[in-house]
Amino acid sequence: MSAPLWAPWRMDYILKPNKHDCFLCLPVDLLGPFPDRLVLYSDPVVQVVMNLYPYNNAHLIVAPRRHVATLALATEEERLAIINHAARATVILDKVMAPHGYNLGVNQGEVAGAGVADHLHLHVTPRYQGDVNYMTVLAETRVIPEHIRTTYDKLVGFFN
């Protein structure tokens, strides 16, 4: 008999009235952290957001503020800001979470795995020795050891 998995944060997604809204598009006047949207950092060009459906604990997304689909369509300023803030995120994560490595990646297009295909974003995924276990291999399920709000609270002060 299999045991149920508890994921109460999924109910917000299931009940969301318009699932086609871009979660990466922030109000123009919003700068700095924004806990309700898991935004750790934002300025007029770029933002750092916690991934609500992470591959691993403290999985972050770095994205331009502007709704743009590809690296080629992003401005040079946006591309530079994305990579600089991804680098900054790894330094912060090293201090706070002490991962053993990272996966950094951009998925362009739906067939490439982009969950939000029309808003460019770079994933910063901390990796830990042994973080791939039987749950991932056999059940296609990831075990995240810490509540996302707890991780947010640990990280937000380092981004601002």
- The CATH number given to whatever domain includes residue 139 is 3.30.428.10
State whether residue 42 is helix, strand or coil: strand
Residue 122 host element (H or E): strand 122-127
Q: Mean pLDDT over all residues of the chain? A: 85
Q: Note whether residue 29 is domain-resident.
A: yes
Q: Note whether residue 16 is domain-resident.
A: no
Q: Which domain holds residue 79?
A: 24-159
Helix 148-159 to helix 76-96 angle, to the nearest 10 degrees? 110
Domain count, the chain: 1
Q: Note whether residue 42 is domain-resident.
A: yes
pLDDT in tens, 112-136: 777 788 999 999 999 988 776 555 5
pLDDT of residue 66: 94
pTM for the model stands at 0.80
Q: Note whether residue 43 is domain-resident.
A: yes
Characterize the bridge pairing of strands 122-127 and 46-50.
unpaired
Q: Note whether residue 83 is domain-resident.
A: yes
Helices (H), the chain: 10-15, 76-96, 134-139, 148-159
Q: Note whether residue 148 is domain-resident.
A: yes
Could you tell me which residues come within 8 angstroms of residue 121 by beta carbon, excluding any fewer than 6 positions away? 24, 61, 62, 63, 106, 114
Q: Note whether residue 51 is domain-resident.
A: yes
Q: Note whether residue 5 is domain-resident.
A: no
CA–CA gap between residue 118 and residue 30 (Å, rounded):
21
Residue 67 structure tokens: 């709704």
CA-based torsion, 105, 155, 14, 64: positive or negative: negative
**Catalytic residue numbers, as ranges:** 121
- Over residues 50-65, the mean pLDDT reads 92
For tokens 């460019």, what's the residue? 120
Whether 64 shows a pLDDT value over 90: the answer reads yes
Q: How confident is the model at residue 99 (pLDDT cuts 50, 70, 90)?
A: very high
Whether 62 shows a pLDDT value over 60: the answer reads yes
